[in-house]
Amino acid sequence: MGEEILRVENLKTYFFTEAGVVKAVDGVSFSVYEGEPLGIVGETGSGKTVTSLSIMRIVPPPGKIISGRIIYRGEDLLEKSEDEMRKIRGKKIAIVFQDPNSSLDPLFTVESQLNEVIMAHLKVTKQEARNRALELLKMVRIPDPEARLKAYPHELSGGMRQRVAIARALANEPDILIADEPTTNLDVTIQAQIIELLKELQSKLKMTLIMITHDMGLVAETTKRVVVLYAGSVAEIAPTNEIFKSMRHPYTAALLKAVPRIDRRKELKPIPGSIPNLIDPPSGCRFHPRCPYVIQRCIEEVPELEFTDQRAVACHRWKELSLKGE
Ligand SMILES: Nc1ncnc2c1ncn2[C@@H]1O[C@H](COP(=O)(O)OP(=O)(O)OP(=O)(O)O)[C@@H](O)[C@H]1O
Ligand code: SF4
Ligand SMILES: [Mg+2]
């Protein structure tokens, strides 16, 4: 494992809505190590996107980071000024969103969008920027890159647009790439190609990749370690190859049964119950209304995230349960 490059500590990000305070991220902690592909997995609404927006410090109103620390190479990003953050965003930590259209401007050509990021952080001539843009398009395997430079986003297919968005994110060789469900909006075959590309780039560039997904199959395929989020807090953290064999949190077990896996044909069992309302979340363990192992203590006491042998779990009963995968 490389050095710790990013550490999220007890992060709380809330949305102050008219209906009440949505505790979207409520005490999330995990580390990211240099060069590793890390997965963040959880059902819809578990706080994956809000966690990544918090790392980039781009949480939209009425959202606010209310406490915690985000330590990037020893410095707390939450203490940086907006000017300082601008030097980190895109240059040190970059993000690719689910929808490539939200990373690309429809009014500008591929070339000018790539130039914009290349020139924002590097002093280069127009010709050098063009060469770099071409190099980036080749890197993300866009055919006929010379011609594609002149294209507008609407002239490209969804898969090509996502490739351009990835090229743009990688333009300044960021330390960390966050990919937030980068394939959800694409056709299945295109999804597989984009995943292949990200895997290839990750290993070639030894990139620190945070792969956000609700798909355990994708976690198995692309990550070495995984953070399982449930209702705004961490349920479990483990090496990917271990979590499939011996999960420690009942939610992880439920998630593994509920999510299709490319490598297995098994009957899917949806997780009973629904995701809690984050304005008024369940007391104690937030998973307790859906957990088959719930006891009185789970309703009364919030389980702490316990760290042991490179793993972490927040469940009162993990030791006695000894859950096993199939
Ligand atoms: N602008 C907002 N205003 C109010 N609540 C919000 C806002 N954005 C997110 N939330 C809430 O924060 C919680 C976490 O949302 P988030 O988008 O991080 O989930 P997610 O894990 O990324 O889900 P998905 O898999 O659907 O992308 C949800 O309950 C959501 O309703
Ligand atoms: S703390 Fe209790 S309710 Fe929560 S996951 Fe563990 S056993 Fe289930
Ligand atoms: Mg999301």
DSSP collapsed to 3 states, the chain: CCCEEEEEEEEEEEEEECCEEEEEEEEEEEEEECCCEEEEECCCCCCHHHHHHHHHCCCCCCEEEEEEEEEECCEEHHHCCHHHHHHHECCCEEEECCCHHHCCCCCCCHHHHHHHHHHHHCCCCHHHHHHHHHHHHHHCCCCCHHHHHCCCHHHCCHHHHHHHHHHHHHCCCCCEEEEECCCCCCCHHHHHHHHHHHHHHHHHHCCEEEEEECCHHHHHHHCCEEEEEECCEEEEEEEHHHHCCCCCCHHHHHHHHHCCECCECCCCCCCCCCCCCCCCCCCCCCCHHHCCCCCHHHHHCCCCCEEECCEEECCCCHHHHCCCCC
Give me the residue label for tokens 């209702």: 231
- Give the Å distances, CA to CA, from 286 to 64, 227, 229, 276: 22, 17, 11, 8
pLDDT tens-digit readout, 172-227: 889 999 999 998 888 888 889 999 999 999 989 888 999 999 888 889 999 999 99
Ligand 1 lined by 46 (C-beta under 6 Å): yes
Ligand nearest, relative to CA of residue 11: 1
Q: For residue 11, what pLDDT band results from cuts at 50, 70 and 90?
A: very high
d(CA 269, CA 260): 10
Residues 283, 299: contact at Cβ < 8 Å?
yes
Residue nearest atom 13 in ligand 1 by C-alpha distance: 24
Ligand 1 center–CA 50 separation, angstroms: 6
Whether cis (ω within 30° of 0) applies to the bond prior to 106 is: no
d(CA 95, CA 182): 10
Asked if residue 262 has pLDDT above 70, the reply is: no
- Amino acid identity of residue 41, one-letter, is V
Average pLDDT, rounded, for the chain: 92
Mean pLDDT, residues 62-83 taken together: 97
pLDDT tens track for 123-146? 888 889 999 999 999 999 999 999
pTM higher than 0.85 for the full model?
yes
Residue nearest to atom 18 of ligand 1 (CA): 47
- pLDDT of 102 over the 90 cut: no
Residue nearest to atom 6 of ligand 2 (CA): 315
Q: What is the pLDDT of residues 103-120, one digit of tens each?
A: 788 999 999 999 988 888
What is the separation, in whole angstroms, between the first and last Cα of the chain? 28
Q: Evaluate: CB of 17 within 6 angstroms of ligand 1.
A: yes
**Alpha-carbon span 161 to 3, nearest angstrom:** 33
The ligand 2 atom nearest the CA atom of 298: 2
Contact 4, 58 (CB under 8 A): no
User: Whose CA is closest to atom 1 on ligand 2?
Assistant: 315
Ligand 1 pocket check: which of 43, 46, 184, 286 to mutate, most ligand atoms within 8 Å of Cβ?
Answer: 46
Please report the pLDDT score of residue 248 as a whole number: 95
Q: Which ligand has the shortest distance to the CA of 291?
A: 2
Going from the Cα of 203 to the center of ligand 1, the distance in angstroms, rounded, reads 31
Ligand 2 center to 295 CA (angstroms): 8
Of 238, 245, 242, 244, the C-alpha closest to 314 is 238
Ligand 2 pocket, Cβ-based, cut-off 6 angstroms: 249-250, 285, 287-288, 291, 293-294, 298, 303, 315-317
- Candidate from 18, 25, 41, 49 with most ligand 1 atoms within 8 A of CB, to mutate: 49
pLDDT at residue 149, rounded to an integer: 94
Ligand 3 ion: nearby residues, β-carbon < 5 Å: 48-49
d(CA 124, CA 148): 21
For β-strands 4-17 and 20-33, DSSP reports them as antiparallel
